[in-house]
Structure 1
Amino acid sequence: MKGALLINLGSPKSPEPKDVKPYLDEFLMDKYVIDVPYLLRALLVRGIILRKRPEESAHAYKKIWWEEGSPLIVLSERMHKKVKAKTEIPVALAMRYGEMTIEKGLQELHEQGVTEVLLFPLYPQYAMASTLTILVLAEEIRKKKFPQMKFTDVPAFYNKPDYIQNLADLMQKSLEGYDYDQLVFSYHGIPERHIRKTDVTKSHCKIDGSCCSTPSAAHAFCYRHQCYETTRLVAEKLQIPKDKYCLTFQSRLAGDKWLDPYTDIEIDKMPSRGIKKIAVVTPAFVTDCLETLEEIAMRAKEDFEANGGEEFLAIPCLNDDDAWVQTATNWIEEWAFAEKKAI
């Protein structure tokens, strides 16, 4: 029997420091997030970052927390509920970090008799710190707890026509009647070394301005290329002139060279260049979360206006948009019924 497991990032149990700290510990101690030797990672995370970050992050979470709970969890649950209502295939929901574990999600499917699972990371672009860590952990759990299960995974869908159409339609609706000076495609940042580590050719990804536009097998796992490709396809779909949009990366940590240009720096400079009205979309996420609701819709907006900006529009993520739900359901059913269709 076949079933699917939707997997998102996760969230603290509450926006209080006592719950934010263990969540951050689990997240930052992931070797695919901070990819340095364990002892160095432990020193950095537990000896330095977790001394101040839980209080700071808790403050940020409190600004976006809903009465029902974490926006990311609530929105993921809404999407999950809609997908379940559209298919007879068993579908469960899990998070990479926090209490809604992948093991619990697999157990739920196991109890329904599922032996073949479609792992569905809810990330359009492939990255070590998102897609890879999910797939590795799921496989570790399978070997220990569910050895009879068979896994298939949904590849990065950054360029799939139906996803691009969903994103473009949502953006067009959000932008209706809004005459922006610049549209910012802001993606979550990652260290440049992650790009090189996921380069299957071991030589293509030089991050030199041309490698992402030069055809290569590396692109199947290159986060940077996939961000640029999503942007290009959506801009073409919406017929946005090249001088009216830009691509940036947000949420970096100090100490390493991260993908640039940086969202905060670019947005802060825009008013001085005569760009007074902007819209920001965050296509690295399909679900609104701390990085979209607080970092962009609140902090970036405040900084933009403080520097002379006049209007700032934060475009929501796909969340539980009906067209996106239908797309996700279609992908699950295409996989589940592939053999029947072939016959």
Structure 2
Amino acid sequence: MEEIKIQRAAKLKEKPDPKTLGFGKIFSDHMFLLDYHAGQGWHDPRIVPYGPFMLDPSAMVFHYAQEVFEGLKAYRAPDGSVQLFRPADNARRMADSCDRLCIPPVPEELFVEAVKALVKVDADWVPNEPGTSLYIRPFVIATDASLGVHASHSYLFCIITGPVGAYYAEGINPVKIYVENDDVRAVKGGTGYTKCGGNYAASIRAGERAEEQGYAQVLWLDGVHRKYIEEVGSMNVMFKVDGKIITPALTGSVLPGITRRSCLELLRDWGYAVEERLITAEELFDAAESGKLEEAWGTGTAAVISPIGEMGWKDKHVVVNGGEIGSLTQKLYDTLTGIQWGVEPDPYGWTVKL
């Protein structure tokens, strides 16, 4: 692997108050860049001052959406050290996304080393307030200056970072979600299992409609039968029904979340019966109305665990666990964040110290 060249910013930005951090609005001093050209492969890894880069107006990413991205975090441990959470999993998932979008994959070792190098350079940006972290956004875009529907011959891999607080303004408080009946996010055979911008663009309209009705997120149904639950807008979803944990199976149109995988490993270790299977909206709302739906929560890198307090579907409206966070949901949040922030032991080897 080529040595990563480092060009440090001449003037560093003023860091924000860690007590008032939002999400995704503030970015650190530097970014990582890596080029790809057909016949040459990935080359010229470098860390440079954060700032705009120039792209031709005909760059293929603008016209044919050939791009993928990832999301992970760096955490400040109590001893002042910095650690990552399962970065190799993000590297492997990005490689899977690249394969579907016909993008040359970034080698796993290079991905992880690039993340480590950038976070080390901007280590002072990792906040130390409870609940805060440094969000890391790696992405690949097609850069050929060409109009034509085919794979690009050149790409740019970039990583940017920024300090963040809670993803939802309401924090760990339960959110309201609405089952979408009209729009669909993805179908099996499409790009639903990848992290590509098109999936998220397709979700915006339903998200806007849900927000107008007072809901925080959309709960998506499958695109074929329009009855099986898939995932929440930016998260995977889980339900505790009659003592069992059920979550939608990874059928090809659901993102294989890393937080999802971590939760399932914890739950099985704690002795819960876990079912990864098809779940209809009707089954879920029937369980809620009969009192068997005990807890519901979303899982994702940004929010970690997001309890679901209310759900709407057609003319139905149900409240989960009295609108309060459930004890299992709280335990998952406390355990995962405890491991991530280094205040709980990590028996799984998920964390990577810098």
State the TM-score, normalized to the length of structure 2: 0.28
More helix by share: 1
Which structure carries more relative contact order (alpha carbon 8 Å, separation 6+)?
A: 1
